[in-house]
């Protein structure tokens, strides 16, 4: 069986590319960290890969707004290539800054039942950068292929503009994948469980196909159990809560 090939996009300000590459390598894939200029100049082809990842960071210093400059580059310079990649069955994962980019590039939330909910991300309600571990509840009814078989996770967040805003009447048309929760799985928990004030405690969404997925927490920062802040007090296990996201993506490509 041929190896799954992952393209991890890098631009000035990206800072989680190496960790994301390592996570996919541990899941059995071949990774390439590719500068956006290589795609624009056609030195690399998106069609040579099965998964594209926009990792965390502060792309272009988050000038204008978080992820906005990179989103414009993707939309204006690579939009047709990316749409063809999705239409041909490719997977896209956006983590933290990648979530902001995918939304502002128009790749998420996508259309559901003919509707395209208006959604954006803005500054945290706390007015400050939030760096903490959060409990997450997974929507088992979501079509997302990245979270199949996962019920809950405990992952770190690190962002200043992570608040999801969406009109309440649009919520039924949104493919919500992850919710910020309390330690018992309650999805109506307030700050600090919901670190940014997201509407309906939304922490991650996907498109109707389940192949384009974005989340604010960082799964690549919890692929080993020893990365858990209380790992010495817990039952020993090998992998962290975020690892299955990468495994699911690789296995889906291998089986498709």
How many CB atoms sit inside 10 A of residue 89's CB? 12
Name the active-site residue from 135, 218, 222, 228.
218
218 is an active site residue: yes
Convert the pLDDT of each residue in 123-178 to its tens digit.
999 999 999 999 999 999 999 999 999 999 999 999 999 999 998 888 998 999 99
Cα Rg of the chain (Å, integer): 17
Domains of the chain (ranges; CATH) run: 5-255 (3.40.50.880)
Q: From CA 236, how far away is CA 181, in angstroms rounded?
A: 24
User: How far apart (Å, rounded) are the C-alpha atoms in residues 2 and 226?
Assistant: 31
Do the beta carbons of residue 70 and residue 59 sit within 8 Å?
Answer: yes
pLDDT reported for residue 112? 59
Catalytic-residue membership of 96: yes
Q: Name the active-site residue from 16, 73, 96, 161.
A: 96
Q: How far apart are alpha carbons 48 and 175 in whole angstroms?
A: 28
206-229 confidence digits (pLDDT tens): 999 999 999 999 999 999 999 998
User: How many C-beta atoms lie closer than 10 Å to residue 185's C-beta?
Assistant: 14
User: Are 131 and 158 contacting, i.e. CB atoms less than 8 angstroms apart?
Assistant: yes
Percent of the chain whose pLDDT exceeds 70: 97
| Annotated catalytic residue within 16, 130, 220, 222 | 220
Please give the model's pTM, rounded to 2 decimal places. Answer: 0.95
The yes-or-no verdict on residue 114 having pLDDT over 70 is no
């Amino acid at each position: 069986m041929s190896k799954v090939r992952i393209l991890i996009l890098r631009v000035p300000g990206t800072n989680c590319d190496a960790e994301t590459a390592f996570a996919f390598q541990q899941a059995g894939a071949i990774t390439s960290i590719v500068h956006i200029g290589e795609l624009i100049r056609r030195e690399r082809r998106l069609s040579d890969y099965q998964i594209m990842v926009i990792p965390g960071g502060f792309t272009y210093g988050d000038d204008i707004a978080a992820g906005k400059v990179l989103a414009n580059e993707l939309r204006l310079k690579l939009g047709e290539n990316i749409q063809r990649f999705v239409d041909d069955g490719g997977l896209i994962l956006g983590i933290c800054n990648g979530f902001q980019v995918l939304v502002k590039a128009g790749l998420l939330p996508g259309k559901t039942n003919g509707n395209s909910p208006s959604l954006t991300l803005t500054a945290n309600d706390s007015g400050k950068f939030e760096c903490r571990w959060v409990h997450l509840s997974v929507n088992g009814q979501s079509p997302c292929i990245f979270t199949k078989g996962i019920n809950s996770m405990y992952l770190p967040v690190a962002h200043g503009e992570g608040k999801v805003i969406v009109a309440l009447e649009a919520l039924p048309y949104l493919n919500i994948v992850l919710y910020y929760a309390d330690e018992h799985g309650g999805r109506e928990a307030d700050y600090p469980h919901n670190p940014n004030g997201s509407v309906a405690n939304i922490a991650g969404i996907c498109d109707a196909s389940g192949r384009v997925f974005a989340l604010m927490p960082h799964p690549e920062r919890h692929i080993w159990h020893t990365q858990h802040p209380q790992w010495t007090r817990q039952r020993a296990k090998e992998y962290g809560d975020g690892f299955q996201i990468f495994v699911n993506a690789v296995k889906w490509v291998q089986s498709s």
